[in-house]
Structure 1
Amino acid sequence: MPILPFKFLRLRLKGRSHVPIHQDQYVENAVFPRSPVVTDCIHPELDRKFDLTSSVRCADRSPIVYGYHADLWKGIWNGEVVAIKVIRVIGNSVDRKQACAKNALKEVEIWSSVKHKNVLPLYGYSHEFGPVPSLVSPYMNDGTASLYLKTHPDVNRLQICAEISNGLAYLHEQRIVHGDLKGDNVLICSLEDRPYPLICDFGLSKRLDLTGSLRSTIVKGTVPWMAKELLMPGTTEDEEAACTLTFQSDVWAWGMTTYELFTDAPPYSHLKYRTLFELSMHIADGNVPEYPVSCEQSLEQHVWALLQMCWNPDPSQRPRSDELRLLVRGQVPVNPTV
């Protein structure tokens, strides 16, 4: 894969992913209440560089994606189509809105600090699309990796997964744990008929301390992609490691994402579980996906062995993210211990 500098990616995004739009296609933002301006949780330099308030407009009258925590709108910034992540706020209290606003701006601080060819760039944020600052990023016509591969079955899936691991390794080098890696949080940018995956959605991301962990009593995420130790606190030999977001839990999620992208289905989708709690207990009991026989022509054995390494119940025995790309390409031996 050719190395694409960030500036090159930014320029080339103007091709297929960015679409110029005429002024008469703008949609007024009057339907959105202005967000409270939170000044004590973001560095002034970030405020100057990334505050796009008054320069971003909506391009449609309804969201293009409805989500549980946020809706995605198509917008216009500097004549280009952009994506506007409008965060939902549950409850009308001032404290709740202020807390959500601070969380959004913390996401800005993390996201704005990363620049890599396999990470979606952040353009900035705006206070004009709801009670919480909304995040503005490039709009990708090719959609998410999970949807793209369903409509482009001949794409090299191993290449896509290797490049996702490349972006993940970069985030870990920056002491950032993503916290919610899955196919829907990877967008595809096509350059010269070649798909490039871009990791996105840093709503659950955290910058970790020097120990490489973040202690928390509440861990959020998407259950089928979450590591065993996150779903059943106290089940690991080291109880202090329970309920902790780590680089290793991201590696587990990369393994589940790779499984998802090869099978065109979420992990455990073949199970008939009635609730997410039931699925959580299934994972916490040590169950991982079985080899998908339907993918035996595309999912090579050394890749399957690597996924088993990523799902090792002992987080310390999982490969590091910087090892994944070499391992997934078979450039170094894979020796699963589970």
Structure 2
Amino acid sequence: MSQPATPSRDADRTANEQRLSSRGSEGTTLVTGIRECCANIIVHRRQAQQLTTDVIALFSMLRENVGFVTPAEFDEMLDEILKVLTSVYPRVREWSQYGILQALWRSGQVGYGLEQCNEEVGAALDKWEMAVAISLDNVRNPLVRIARHDAEEWQRYIAGHRAELFKFTKQFLRSRELIQQAAELYNRGHPAAERMMELSQLLLRLPIQSADSTKVANESLTKEEHDGLRERLVNFHRLTGIPPTIKILNGQVKKLGDRPLVWGSYSELWSGVWLGKIQIVLRVQDITVSQEAIARYEEEARKWAKLKDPNVLPFYGIVTDLGPIIHMATPWCEYGNILEFTKNNPDYNKTRLLLGAAKGLRYLHHENIIHGNVKCTNFMINEKGDARVSDYGMLQVMAEISKKRVALILNGAGMTRWMAPEMVVLTSLLEPNAACDVWSFGMAMLECYTVHPPYMEFEDNMSVSEALYRAQHPSRPQSAMGLTDEIWEILTSCWRKQPAQRLSMAELVSRLQKFT
């Protein structure tokens, strides 16, 4: 696989060689001393020999990788390796001075000490092998070369190296070590894992050979190859949690059942599977498949794909081959939404869950994304018991494609109880803003504490609309577990008449943190 230009690598190598030259003699002396001492330890010879081997390998990493890590990385590696060697040397020197009787008498102590030394050296080896492997200066690693391309270069690179990349992708999906490296690069903000997901999805798009096919192997897959690659891609996703990179999931998703999990006024939720194994949720809105709709969702999906926050549910993609209506795929959350979860876990700290949802909305607002439909059914609970915000931004896309105002869609769907008054009263406000989300979040908090929709003192939405025209917020319930005076004050701060006077989501998070 060809390498991108690396103009700074020569300078980095020179700087690292200078550092090794000035401090390497200290390490050489320590390694020599440890090796000689281990040779003179009378008991636990195998452990002593293993320690010698690992110490030599650890120090050799510096010379072997002098041209493949940045100076900052090299300095950190040099400091830590010398620290480990300095720690090991006096211990093995003491054990090497034991005579036969003393060595036998203290055999248990020596064995335990050697075990500790081996663990320390082994941990350093593992750490720095991974660190070197994923250093952006280490262009020996194909994953690093893949991660170094910018977005535009990457698309050109795929076009020019398709067969070579597909070959590496097959190797990658079989290698747990490479998958772990990709995951670590992903955690550090580098796109290797996303791009390997993209290549894997492209690979699975290749046609499946018929029994008498004469197609070139790089242009098609056998049925066995296809199924094996799909299974390994499932494992890749489960090991790393990386969502699909290509957001058009046609051919990868199956819709399950003959009726939706949840009926809504403007959308339905269906069960589905991605890649035949991974359970997902399919959200179906009344948007017909068209080039305009697909293009608009793809545009928005590119923004959603960049979102990385533990309190925001990832967006997997859209599916256009399951009928005339566009389906949107998101992860399956076993525990359901916050209302379902707290119903089944009545003693769970609701304020903690709401804090997680608030953090998710704070992140979305920081990324200039307005949710538009904040309520409890859009706060999903993951397997760790944390809230994750879902359905963000979708309402605005639906409104744009259908040529309808967001307020009309929400009113028609019976969402008036969660809507900010300016969305109901001001016809000039075409789209929700951050202050609207804050108002709605206050309503969602009330809904969570009371397990009733907001404005439960009013039977119909018309009465709620009249209250909104008067900028009247809900009455305080007589009793609701967890709804203290302090929490109620937070809610009323979300419901101030003037949008500019409401709390921001960042302020909401700060206040809620005091109660968890």
Q: Normalized against structure 2, the TM-score is what? A: 0.47
Distance 1:166 1:205 in 2: 21
Counterpart amino acid of 2:473?
Answer: V
Q: Choose between structure 1 and 2: higher helix proportion.
A: 2
For residue 64 of structure 1, the aligned residue among 239, 245, 261 is 261
Matched ranges for 1:1-338 at <5 A:
49-78=246-275, 79-89=277-287, 100-101=293-294, 104-191=297-384, 195-202=385-392, 203-205=394-396, 219=407, 220-221=409-410, 222-233=415-426, 242=429, 244-273=431-460, 276-295=461-480, 297-330=481-514
Structure 1 residues 185-236: Cα deviation after superposition (integer angstroms, max 9, x where no partner): 1111122xxx111111132257xxxxxxxxx9653432111111111117xx
> How much does 1:60 deviate?
2.4
Aligned CA distance change for structure 1 residues 284 and 150 (closer, same or farther; 3 Å): farther
> How much does 1:105 deviate?
4.0
Aligned CA distance change for structure 1 residues 218 and 74 (closer, same or farther; 3 Å): closer
What is the SS of the residue equivalent to 1:50? coil
Unaligned runs of 5+ in 2: 1-183, 188-243, 398-403
Structure 1 residues 300-334: Cα deviation after superposition (integer angstroms, max 9, x where no partner): 21111011110000111111111111112338xxx
Q: Which residue of 2 aligns with 1:44?
A: none
Structure (1 or 2) with the larger CA radius of gyration: 2
Unaligned runs of 5+ in 1: 8-46, 207-215, 235-239, 332-338
For the aligned residue pairs, the C-alpha RMSD in angstroms reads 2.7
Contact kept in structure 1, 2:406 and 2:432, CA below 8 Å: no
% identical equivalent positions:
27
Distance 2:454 2:254 in 1: 37
Distance 2:504 2:405 in 1: 25
Distance 1:217 1:87 in 2: 15
Distance 1:70 1:98 in 2: 21
Distance 1:117 1:75 in 2: 23
Contact kept in structure 2, 1:302 and 1:330, CA below 8 Å: no
Q: Which residue of 2 aligns with 1:41?
A: none
What is the SS of the residue equivalent to 1:308? helix
Per mean C-alpha deviation after superposition, the further-off stretch among 59-68 and 259-268 is 59-68
> Would you say how many aligned residue pairs link Structure 1 and Structure 2?
263
Aligned CA distance change for structure 1 residues 103 and 224 (closer, same or farther; 3 Å): farther
What is the SS of the residue equivalent to 2:382? strand
Contact kept in structure 2, 1:75 and 1:83, CA below 8 Å: yes
Aligned CA distance change for structure 1 residues 120 and 73 (closer, same or farther; 3 Å): same
Q: Which residue of 2 aligns with 1:31?
A: none
Distance 1:287 1:148 in 2: 30
Q: Which residue of 1 aligns with 2:128?
A: none
> How much does 1:70 deviate?
2.5
Q: Which residue of 2 aligns with 1:39?
A: none
